[in-house]
Amino acid sequence: MASGEALTTSGYIVHHLTNLTAGHGFWTVHLDTLLVSGLLGLFCFVGMAKLAGRATSGVPGKMQALVEMVVSFVDQQVKDTYHGKSALVTPLAITIFVWVFVMNAMDLIPVDFLPVVAGGLGIHYLKVVPTTDPNLTFGMSLTVFVIMMVMGVKVKGVGGFMHEVFTVPFGAKLAPLNLLFRIIEDIAKPISLSLRLFGNMYAGEMVFILIALMGLWQLPLALPWALFHILIITLQAFVFMMLTIVYLSMASESHG
Amino acid sequence: MNINATLIGEAIWFGVFIWITMKYVWPPLQKAMADRQKLIADGLAAGERGKHELELAGKRSADALRDAKAKAAEIVAASEKRAAQMIEEAKLAAKIEADKVVLSAKAEIAQQVEQARAELRGRVADLAVAGAERILRREVDARVHADMLVALKQEL
């Protein structure tokens, strides 16, 4: 609870859900989302890159074993689902899984801890979990969407891609209907991808905030919800990764 | 829910992280894991081969042992035979040598007997001459009858 504000229930909730912003109009940026997601990502991926740089094929250290476990788990999912040749899919899936996982995991830090620390430093708004910001989830899903489109055209060629757009699923005679279906399908993909993650994490964060409002009762309640939330954190990271792989495999396999 | 420029920033972050993973994380890890897999597979194969070789070596060593035993028995038999032969030969040689020694001893004895006899003959002749001298002191001249005495010595 930031100092100096009216400690009403709705004020507390709204305060927690307000981003630290800069700029205005469309060119507003959420500094907290950008910083937290960027620092987490840099920490994870630069760390992993350093570790991979001195990875040994002999007996791996504990950190290398952990990273290898995650990476080979993701690679197995990719191998099971995606049968194309692109070298991008596995790194993309690893990036999504690891990044979304660590960003979601910020949810497990007690809701008031970082905002109070930041308040002490003179920052009055801080939304800690980047995946509760639709800008981030849409940023990711639209990137995936672009990769999907590019891969579709690259694998099938422009002609093949257009042929698929106009003839699947009802055949060439119902081309306008096929096009309509295709547009709906392709728009639905990034929207469902990003809103699923955003909705789950936003709701989870909201429950944490509500529990934090309960005074002493938050102690027996926050722990089981946090334990349960570990499941959601992992599951949402997995689902985002898995659906990305599925979309990319659909983009690189012809439907007929 | 307000969409703004943060979206572009996040897309850039996302791209940067994909690039890092694609360039610096995944390839070396993939290589390390593939190498290790190969290492383990090779190790297992080598272990299997070693086991097989051990079996073969066991068989070979048993064969060698059997051969060596047979050869040793053969050598022992041959050497026993040779030893018996050598004993026989030695016995033979000893017998020949003994015969030779006996023969030479006999010859020596004969020679000594002959020598003694000749000596005896001389003494007897001297004795006879001395006896005759005493008997015939006056009329017999030793110098005159020396020839006759030598003839007598030869007859004895």
Q: What is the pLDDT of residues A229-238, one digit of tens each?
A: 999 999 999 9
The residue segments making up the domain with residue B105 are 25-155
Q: Is A2 a member of any domain?
A: no
Portion 13-72 of B in contact with A at CB < 8 A: 13-18, 20-22, 24-33, 35-36, 39
Q: Helix %, strand %, coil % for chain A, to 5? A: 75, 0, 20
Asked if residue A56 has pLDDT above 90, the reply is no
Q: Is B6 a member of any domain?
A: no
Asked if residue A26 has pLDDT above 50, the reply is yes
Least confident range of A53-57, A220-224, B10-14, B137-141: B137-141
Among candidates B21, B22, B39 on the partner chain, residue whose Cβ is nearest the Cβ of A57: B39
Q: Nearest-CA neighbor of A102 among A50, A63, A62, A44? A: A44
Chain B residues closer than 8 Å to A23 by CB: 5
Lookup result for tokens 């009802």: A170
Q: Report CB contact under 8 Å: A139, B9.
A: yes
Distance from CA of B50 to the nearest CA of A (A): 22
- Determine the Cα–Cα distance for residues A87 and A92; give it in Å rounded to an integer: 9
User: What pLDDT sits at residue B138?
Assistant: 64
Q: Is B12 a member of any domain?
A: no
Per-residue pLDDT reduced to its tens digit, B105-130: 999 999 999 999 999 988 888 888 88
Local confidence band at A1 (pLDDT 50, 70, 90 cut-offs) = very low
The residue segments making up the domain with residue A45 are 9-251
Q: Report CB contact under 8 Å: B22, A91.
A: yes
Q: Is A54 a member of any domain?
A: yes
Q: Which residues contact A38 (CB under 8 A, 6 or more apart)?
A: B13
Return mean pLDDT, chain B. Answer: 91
pTM of the model: 0.75
Local confidence band at A7 (pLDDT 50, 70, 90 cut-offs) = low
Residue of B nearest to A198 (CA): B1
Q: Is B91 a member of any domain?
A: yes
Return mean pLDDT, chain A. Answer: 90
Q: Which residues of A are catalytic?
A: 192, 196, 200
Tokens of B140: 């017999």
Q: Is B54 a member of any domain?
A: yes
User: What pLDDT sits at residue A243?
Assistant: 95
User: What pLDDT sits at residue B140?
Assistant: 59
Asked if residue A256 has pLDDT above 60, the reply is no
Residue of B nearest to A87 (CA): B22
Q: Report CB contact under 8 Å: A94, B28.
A: no
Q: A136, A151, A206: best mutation site toward chain B, by most B Cβ within 10 Å?
A: A136
Q: How many domains does chain B have?
A: 1
Among candidates B9, B14, B20 on the partner chain, residue whose Cβ is nearest the Cβ of A46: B20
Per-residue pLDDT reduced to its tens digit, A108-127: 998 888 888 988 888 888 88
In contact, A245 and A189? CB cutoff 8 Å: no
User: What pLDDT sits at residue A48?
Assistant: 94
Per-residue pLDDT reduced to its tens digit, A137-184: 999 999 999 999 999 999 989 998 998 889 888 888 888 999 999 999
Lookup result for tokens 């006056």: B138
Which whole number is the average pLDDT over A11-21? 86
Q: Is B20 a member of any domain?
A: no
User: What pLDDT sits at residue A2?
Assistant: 44
Higher pLDDT among residues A168 and A252, named by residue: A252
Q: Report CB contact under 8 Å: A139, B15.
A: no
Q: Is B134 a member of any domain?
A: yes
User: What pLDDT sits at residue A246?
Assistant: 94
Residue of B nearest to A26 (CA): B4
Chain B residues closer than 8 Å to A197 by CB: none
Chain B residues closer than 8 Å to A130 by CB: 10
In contact, A5 and A15? CB cutoff 8 Å: yes
Q: Report CB contact under 8 Å: A71, B29.
A: yes
Among candidates B3, B22, B29 on the partner chain, residue whose Cβ is nearest the Cβ of A68: B29
Q: Report CB contact under 8 Å: B32, A34.
A: no
Q: A252 in helix, strand or coil?
A: coil
Geometric angle at alpha carbon A149, from A148 and A152, rounded to 5°: 85
The complex's ipTM works out to 0.90
Per-residue pLDDT reduced to its tens digit, A187-231: 999 999 999 999 999 999 999 999 988 888 888 888 899 999 999
Contacts 24+ apart (CB under 8 A), B118-123: B121/B153, B121/B156, B122/B153
In contact, A107 and A198? CB cutoff 8 Å: no
Q: Report CB contact under 8 Å: B6, A135.
A: yes
Q: A22 in helix, strand or coil?
A: strand
Local confidence band at A4 (pLDDT 50, 70, 90 cut-offs) = very low
Residue of B nearest to A95 (CA): B18
Q: Nearest-CA neighbor of A211 among A201, A230, A224? A: A224
Q: Is A256 a member of any domain?
A: no
Q: Report CB contact under 8 Å: B3, A60.
A: no
Distance from CA of B42 to the nearest CA of A (A): 13
Residue of B nearest to A18 (CA): B1
Higher pLDDT among residues B88 and B137, named by residue: B88
Q: Is B150 a member of any domain?
A: yes
Distance from CA of B76 to the nearest CA of A (A): 57
Q: How many domains does chain A have?
A: 1
Share of chain A above pLDDT 70, in %: 96
